[in-house]
């Protein structure tokens, strides 16, 4: 059995007044720790205070992105080592919004993932296809290509998680079926098992397509879905814990 992970990505949301939501999630985390790992990835400005709010509990903190270098003349950037120093135990890299809004390609995502692992953190590497790629029948080919280009050699089940984001379902009104999710997660599992013998079968694959309390139970029950990367629903403790409840 692969222990699932439910990770909340706050994106560019949250100020100090929102730390109470993290405190509420942290308070509930120990009650779920036997069956599911829980994580919140707040903006970097909140990471240290969020870590204090979760101190002594099972709730972990993560960063949303990092620079591939440890330090240097990179104004405005943050390294994985800096995120670790602020309390992070993981970093998201290659999120669809970073790939689309900042033009990040597989080579850069791979370099960032290597930097995360080198800092002894968990790399959460995101992959996913657009609507055009799905409708043209290239969904699996596209995601497999991203996996090949984005995942560093030598990764293990303890330092790498893959998050699948059906980009075509975000803000389009289109919803993937459980069968859609199962097919893609199976393709990802097959690639991981081949690329990382002995480790790929145990690597967690998160689903990241508009997960909310109302659909979490169905999605989390799909084969090879080992948790969720949650966006908007992670901003409130009630919604986030409602998703975690899928594992009760």
User: Which of 95, 97, 104, 185 is an active site residue?
Assistant: 95
d(CA 177, CA 186): 14
Handedness of CA 82, 75, 113, 207 (dihedral sign): positive
d(CA 193, CA 9): 27
d(CA 234, CA 221): 20
d(CA 205, CA 117): 17
Catalytic site includes residue 74: no
Catalytic site includes residue 165: yes
CA-to-CA separations, 88 to 52, 83, 110, 234, in angstroms, rounded:
11, 5, 19, 17
d(CA 190, CA 229): 20
Task: Report the SS3 class of residue 159.
Answer: coil
Length of the chain: 248
- The tokens describing 196, both together, are 């990382």
User: Which of 97, 165, 185, 191 is an active site residue?
Assistant: 165
Provide the 10 A C-beta neighbour count for residue 238. Answer: 11
Residues taking part in catalysis? 95, 165
């Amino acid at each position: 059995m692969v222990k699932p992970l439910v990770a909340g990505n706050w994106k560019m949301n949250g100020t100090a007044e929102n730390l109470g939501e993290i405190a509420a999630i942290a308070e509930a985390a120990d009650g779920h720790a036997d069956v599911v790992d829980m994580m919140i990835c707040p903006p970097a400005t909140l990471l240290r205070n969020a870590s204090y709010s979760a101190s002594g509990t099972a709730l972990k903190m993560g960063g949303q992105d990092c620079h591939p270098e440890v330090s240097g003349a990179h104004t405005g950037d943050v390294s994985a080592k800096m995120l670790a120093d602020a309390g992070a135990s993981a970093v998201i890299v290659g999120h669809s919004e970073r790939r689309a809004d900042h033009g990040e390609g597989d080579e850069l995502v791979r370099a960032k993932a290597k930097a995360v692992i080198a800092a002894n953190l968990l790399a959460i590497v995101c992959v996913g296809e657009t609507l055009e790629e799905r409708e043209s029948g290239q969904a699996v080919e596209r995601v497999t290509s991203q996996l090949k280009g984005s995942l560093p050699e030598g990764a293990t089940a303890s330092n790498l998680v893959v998050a699948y984001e059906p980009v075509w379902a975000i803000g389009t009104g289109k919803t993937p079926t459980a069968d859609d999710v199962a097919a893609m997660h199976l393709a990802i599992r097959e690639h991981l098992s081949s690329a990382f013998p002995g480790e790929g079968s145990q690597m967690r694959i998160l689903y990241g397509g508009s997960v909310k309390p109302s659909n979490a139970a169905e999605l989390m029950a799909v084969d090879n879905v080992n948790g969720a990367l949650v966006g908007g629903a992670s901003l409130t403790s009630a919604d986030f814990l409602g998703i975690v409840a899928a594992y009760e």
